[in-house]
């Protein structure tokens, strides 16, 4: 992870070390990174990137009902009065935040979409839904901790966009998320009913 953080390169031998990296490498590399002047967020981004590569390396595909899109509450427009935590379908799809686009992806691929206000709610959703793969969007801190909390369940993490700073009116790179969906979704369940090959997924930067 330290080499990944400093060079941006993925090391192939990490393929057999997802469990070790999830449980041990992140806290150790955070300490070592501090000695080398590497920020926590850079270490976390590296951890997420390596985790994603390891999850991708398993080359598994899933049915829609085996997948879960798990999103942070900060994606919702801060001026919106509608409560989405327990039922994201309450959204009116006004287009003022990313939720409408997420619902379109959920409808298109028939994958469950959930919004969580924090780790406790997120864990409850995972326990209730029992997915075999999670596509999660969050900041570096929340993604890193979520990957650790849900291991050995595979989590593919996508960093949110924060044009207004952390935890306020954040955005989802919807093209990246859809690419991840199509990479992990069994092609028999593609909406266009075409046996298209899996597509590459943009890396975490």
User: 57, 75, 99: which is the final residue of a domain?
Assistant: 57
- What pLDDT is stored for residue 31 in this prediction? 87
The total number of structural domains that make up the chain: 2
Q: For residues 24 and 121, what is the distance between their CA atoms, to the nearest angstrom?
A: 25
Statement to judge: residues 50 and 121 lie in one domain: no
Does residue 81 form part of some domain?
A: yes
User: 57, 77, 93: which is the final residue of a domain?
Assistant: 57
Q: What count of residues does the chain have?
A: 205
- What pLDDT is stored for residue 133 in this prediction? 98
Statement to judge: residues 12 and 50 lie in one domain: yes
Statement to judge: residues 91 and 167 lie in one domain: yes
Full residue range of the structural domain in which residue 93 is found = 64-189
Q: For residues 73 and 178, what is the distance between their CA atoms, to the nearest angstrom?
A: 19
- What pLDDT is stored for residue 10 in this prediction? 54
pTM: 0.84
Statement to judge: residues 86 and 180 lie in one domain: yes
The predicted-structure confidence for 119-158, as pLDDT tens digits, reads as follows 889 999 999 999 999 999 999 999 999 999 998 899 999 9
Statement to judge: residues 135 and 168 lie in one domain: yes
Statement to judge: residues 184 and 127 lie in one domain: yes
Tokens at residue 23, please?
Answer: 């449980």
Does residue 97 form part of some domain?
A: yes
- What pLDDT is stored for residue 5 in this prediction? 54
Taking the CA atoms of residue 146, residue 149, residue 153 and residue 158 in that order, the dihedral angle to the nearest 10 degrees is 10
Query: Residues in the chain with pLDDT < 50?
Result: 194
């Amino acid at each position: 992870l330290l080499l990944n953080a400093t060079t941006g390169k993925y090391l192939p031998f990490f393929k057999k070390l997802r469990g070790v990296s999830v449980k041990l490498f992140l806290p150790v590399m955070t300490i070592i990174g501090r000695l080398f002047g590497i920020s926590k967020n850079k270490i976390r981004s590296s951890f997420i990137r390596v985790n994603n590569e390891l999850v991708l390396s398993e080359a598994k595909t899933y049915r829609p009902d085996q997948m879960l899109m798990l999103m942070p509450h900060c994606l919702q427009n801060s001026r919106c009065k509608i409560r989405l935590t327990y039922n994201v379908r309450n959204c009116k799809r006004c287009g003022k935040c990313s939720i409408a686009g997420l619902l379109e992806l959920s409808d298109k691929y028939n994958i469950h979409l959930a919004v969580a206000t924090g780790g406790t709610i997120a864990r409850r959703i995972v326990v209730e839904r029992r997915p075999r793969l999670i596509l999660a969007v969050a900041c570096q801190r929340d993604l890193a901790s979520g990957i650790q909390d849900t291991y050995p369940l595979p989590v593919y993490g996508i960093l949110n966009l924060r044009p207004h700073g952390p935890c306020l009116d954040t955005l989802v790179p919807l093209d990246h998320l859809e690419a991840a969906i199509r990479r992990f979704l069994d092609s028999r369940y593609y909406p266009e009913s075409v046996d298209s090959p899996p597509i590459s997924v943009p890396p975490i930067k």
